[in-house]
Amino acid sequence: SGWLREKDPQPYNSWGNGSAMRVSAVGWKFDSLEETLDVARETALVSHNHPEGIKGAQATAAAIYLARTGKSRQEIKQYIETTFSYDLNRTCDEIRPTYHFNESCQGTVPEAIIAFLDSTDFENAIRLAVSLGGDSDTLACITGGIAEAFYGVPDGIRSEVFKRIPRKFQEIVKQLVVY
């Protein structure tokens, strides 16, 4: 909060998972993977200018871009492993017993992607992410962005969520998202 009140807020070398949590829209916006990666980097640099903060944002945005452009789970997994050197060769069942709260990109983004890779549909992806524990809202946010791009959001979930948000936010969502 102090950073927000500064007259000239500067990046603070954060490697935290906030850069990955807030980048989902970038994965939807651009027409090329290169541009998606560039803009994801720019969104991270505002505060998370540590290489791991940038990497987490780029990996998340790339996974969303690849999912929305029709790539398979295996193609997404291979790209993320090759480009970002994340180990995605575990399952949620293997992660869950020892996982704990971790605010870093390197301790959150791979696990969130694995929750997507293990999933069968949108709701299952979110449930898997939350079941890992730890920073579950961040895990679910990252996983949910990828799962939405890959599966779409079921109408029942979409309408229930929409009913729960304030009207002013409903109007913003209507402007940003095509339903």
pLDDT, tens only, 109-167: 999 999 999 999 999 999 999 999 999 999 999 999 999 999 999 999 999 998 999 99
Radius of gyration of the chain (CA): 16
Q: Average pLDDT, whole number, for the chain?
A: 94
Give CA–CA dist 105/139, Å, rounded: 10
Task: Fill in the amino acid letter for 74.
Answer: Q
pLDDT of 178 reads 56
Query: Is residue 56 helix, strand or coil?
Result: helix
Here the tokens at position 30 are 């651009």
Q: Are 175 and 96 in contact (CB under 8 A)?
A: no
Q: Residue 10: what pLDDT?
A: 83
Of 102, 115, 12, 15, the closest CA to residue 56 belongs to 15
- Quick check: 46 pLDDT over 60? yes
Tell me which fold the domain 11-89+100-154 belongs to. ADP-ribosylglycohydrolase fold (1.10.4080)
Backbone phi, then psi, for 138, in 5-degree steps?
Answer: -70, -45
Q: Give me the residue spans of the domains in the chain.
A: 11-89+100-154
Residue 179 reports pLDDT greater than 70? no
Q: If pLDDT is split at 50, 70 and 90, which confidence band does 5 have? A: confident
Q: What percent of the chain has pLDDT above 70?
A: 99
- Which is higher by pLDDT, 41 or 48? 41
Average pLDDT over residues 86-94: 98
